[in-house]
């Protein structure tokens, strides 16, 4: 199924709205999800609505929440989202941090217990567009941990993503490093499972600890695991994401009893820095341009695969999908149509 992004946006908006969200909340969530599809991250696109509707049904996702400000010193704040839509509260948290960093040079926000915040790059993009440097460390607490630590064959983490954003210049878009600390995001295993496609090798172990490319090992008992990226390095980063966004921020942690009915909870530690407080704007921008040009000047090992910088693959995907539409696999489309039918949403209305 190939669908135009505007049609997908309308469908997502209606689903969230009928789920009880205000029009403003529905539009932020729907735009976030469709933007993730446009940027090539289907794992965090409209397919997530299936989990969101499940969590609305079981009460672990709460609509129209105003985050509780637990503390605020002007430069450091802690918010508790009480399982409100993560796309809304995480956006508000980063907007707070940008304004605070403008005044004080740096700001730190600890966001507790947000329902799924989605593609973390969204928040890095907002900060980078405002001329800020941003670092986001995220933990995930939701049911059985599916990501093994280095040398393990049992899950101890979820996909704990990290995002670092560097402002763009007149000639270059922002650098946006944004990835799960697992070899692949769990949503990508779901997309491959739904599409009946194999995963790349080196990403999964079956329950016996044997390497496999079969995504169904994550959906049949006894379950397999996803591996961390980069062996001990990714495993270490997953641990510090868990500790920074969980233990240190005070958000729900994967190490405490995680009943599946908890839904999908994210904690996030965001650090936003105004780079103008560290160096002069002109020299910084010139250095960023020079560094990007230097990296991209490396001769590609394979002529068909050019050297890119972080953020570029998403911009390439976006241009292609804006022009040609977004491909949604049949299983995901079927699940979305079942929700539309249940909510009595007509696609042409």
Instruction: For the CB of residue 212, give the shortest distance to ligand NAD in the complex, in Å.
Output: 19
**Strand ordering across the sheet containing 68-72:** 68-72, 76-80, 106-115, 265-273, 133-141, 162-166, 175-179
Q: 170 near 210, Cβ under 8 Å?
A: no
Question: Does 46 contact ligand NAD by CB under 6 A?
Answer: no
Question: 14: buried, middle or exposed (CB in 10 Å: 19+, 13-18, 0-12)?
Answer: buried
Provide the pairing of β-strand 106-115 with 76-80.
parallel
Q: Which of 81, 94, 97, 120 binds ligand NAD (CB under 6 A)?
A: 120
- Between 222 and 298, name the residue whose CB sits nearer to ligand NAD: 298
Establish if 121 lies at the interface with ligand NAD (CB under 6 A): yes
Nearest CB to ligand NAD, comparing residues 290 and 308: 308
Taking CB under 6 A as the binding criterion, the range among 74-82, 172-180, 234-242, 329-337 that sits at the site for ligand NAD is: 172-180
How many residues bind ligand NAD (CB under 6 A)? The answer is: 29
Measured from the CB atom, the residue of 14 and 115 that comes closer to ligand NAD is: 115
CA distance 65 to 72: 19
Q: Measured from the CB of residue 155, what is the shortest distance to ligand NAD in angstroms?
A: 14
Query: Scanning residues 180 to 219, which ones bind ligand NAD (CB under 6 A)?
Result: 180, 184-185, 188
Stretch that binds ligand NAD, among 62-70, 94-102, 119-127, 271-279 (CB under 6 A): 119-127
Task: Examine residue 179 and tell whether it contacts ligand NAD (CB under 6 A).
Answer: yes
Contact 59, 82 (CB under 8 A): no
Closer residue to ligand NAD in complex, CB, 23/306? 306
CA distance 15 to 20: 9
Q: Where are the beta strands (DSSP E) in the chain?
A: 2-3, 68-72, 76-80, 106-115, 133-141, 162-166, 175-179, 204-205, 211-212, 225-226, 265-273, 326-327
102 or 315: whose CB is closer to ligand NAD? 315
How far apart CA 311 and CA 308 sit, in angstroms, is: 8
Binding mask 305-324 for ligand NAD (x = CB under 6 A): ---xxxx-xx----------
Interface contacts to ligand NAD, rule CB under 6 A = 41, 43-44, 116-121, 138, 140, 159, 161, 163, 176-180, 184-185, 188, 266, 308-311, 313-314
């Amino acid at each position: 199924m190939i669908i135009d992004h505007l049609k997908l946006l309308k469908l997502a908006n209606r689903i969230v709205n009928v789920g009880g969200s205000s029009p403003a909340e529905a539009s932020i969530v729907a735009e976030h999800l469709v933007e993730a599809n446009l940027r090539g991250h289907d794992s965090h696109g409209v397919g997530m609505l299936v989990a969101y509707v499940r969590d609305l049904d079981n009460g672990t996702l709460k609509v129209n929440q105003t985050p509780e400000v637990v503390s605020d010193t002007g430069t450091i704040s802690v918010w508790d989202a009480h399982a409100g839509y993560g796309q809304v509260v995480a956006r508000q948290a980063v907007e707070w941090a940008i304004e605070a960093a403008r005044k004080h040079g740096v700001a730190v926000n600890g966001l507790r217990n947000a329902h799924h915040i989605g593609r973390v790059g969204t928040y890095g993009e907002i900060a980078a567009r405002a001329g800020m440097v941003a670092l986001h460390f995220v933990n995930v607490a939701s049911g059985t941990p599916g990501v093994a630590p280095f040398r393990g064959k049992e899950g101890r983490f979820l996909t704990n993503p990290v995002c670092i954003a560097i402002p763009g210049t007149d000639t270059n878009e922002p650098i946006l490093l944004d990835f799960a600390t697992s070899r692949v995001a769990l949503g990508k295993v779901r997309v491959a499972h739904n599409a009946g496609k194999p995963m790349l090798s080196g990403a999964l172990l079956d329950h016996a600890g044997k390497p496999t490319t079969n995504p169904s090992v994550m959906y049949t008992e006894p379950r397999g695991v996803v591996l961390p990226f980069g062996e001990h390095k990714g495993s270490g980063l997953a641990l510090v994401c868990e500790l920074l966004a969980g233990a240190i921020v005070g958000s729900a942690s994967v190490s405490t009893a995680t009943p599946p009915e908890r839904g999908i909870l994210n904690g996030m530690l965001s650090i936003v820095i105004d780079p103008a407080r560290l160096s002069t704007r002109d020299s910084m921008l010139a250095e960023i341009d020079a560094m990007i040009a230097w990296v991209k000047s490396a001769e590609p090992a394979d002529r068909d695969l050019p050297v890119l910088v972080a953020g570029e693959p998403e911009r390439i995907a976006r241009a292609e999908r804006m022009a040609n539409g977004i491909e949604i696999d049949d299983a995901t489309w079927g699940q979305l149509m079942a929700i539309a039918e249940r909510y009595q949403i007509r696609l042409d209305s």
